[in-house]
Amino acid sequence: MQTEKLPRREREKLRQRQEMLAAAFDLFSQKGYHNVSMHEIAVKAEFAIGTLYRFFDNKEDLYKALVLEQCDKFEDAVARAIGDGDDEVEKLRNYVRTKGERFRGNLPFVRLFLAESRGASFNIKAGLDEELRKRYYAFLERLALIFDSGIKNKRFKNVTDPYHLAVALDSVVDAFLLLWLDAPERHPYPEDPDTILDIFLKGLVDP
């Protein structure tokens, strides 16, 4: 973003917005949507509450903006990782590694999504906002393309639908990360991405 090119007023506005989002981010990720008040956010962001409402229509709106912004960043990083790499296996390795790094290096981000889930959640990406869901599906398609290309190259055997493989890989990465989050020593996230990847590459039974 070329914020430097914007008029001073616009830049200032953007900066304020970022400060509000930052304050909200901290609070929401620590306490969950329902346990944070607009008053609290305003105090933390050092703005009057009315100013908050000049930038966001309501609490829901603020939350959505926050989530989308965070997802943007995350997605960009992961998408870049998918792009990098000479062959399909390399690309998948980059994906597993990058997602792991990003996730573990940005715990508040993760908590933003988990903080609200009271007690338990069996889900992945369910209850997603329409917008977020669309993005997630688009991402899965991109991941599926790698498997597809690998199959077309004969680098991979044609055992299952590439989309299914994408769903599976992504969910397994999530699962390992969440185990790690819960008990890092008990469930260390594998430094070597092949630890996860091999589950898909090597079969359990011979053909």
Partner DNA sequence: GATGAATGAGGTTTCATTCAT
Partner DNA sequence: AATGAATGAAACCTCATTCAT
Q: Could you tell me how many residues of this chain bind DNA (CB under 7 A)? A: 19
The only residue of 175, 184, 188, 192 in contact with a copy of itself, by rule CB under 8 A = 175
Q: Which of residues 16-75 bind DNA (CB under 7 A)?
A: 16, 35-40, 47-51, 53-54, 58-60
Q: Which amino acid is at 195?
A: T
Q: Which is nearer to DNA, 60 or 101 (CB)?
A: 60
| 49 is a site residue for a copy of itself (CB under 8 A) | no
| 11 is a site residue for DNA (CB under 7 A) | no
What is the 3-class SS of 80-149, one letter each residue? HHHHCCCCHHHHHHHHHHHHHHHHHCCHHHHHHHHCCCCCCCCCCCCCCCHHHHHHHHHHHHHHHHHHHH
Q: Residue 53 touches which of DNA, a copy of itself, none (CB < 5 to 8 A by kind)?
A: DNA
Q: How many CB atoms sit inside 10 A of residue 37's CB?
A: 13
Q: Could you tell me how many residues of this chain bind a copy of itself (CB under 8 A)? A: 59
The Cα 31–Cα 123 span in angstroms is 20
**200 neighbors 169 (Cβ within 8 angstroms):** yes
Q: Residue 105 touches which of a copy of itself, DNA, none (CB < 5 to 8 A by kind)?
A: none
Q: Which of residues 73-132 bind a copy of itself (CB under 8 A)?
A: 110, 113-129, 132
Q: Residue 204 touches which of a copy of itself, DNA, none (CB < 5 to 8 A by kind)?
A: a copy of itself
Q: If we measure between CA atoms, which residue out of 163, 173, 146 comes closest to residue 87?
A: 146
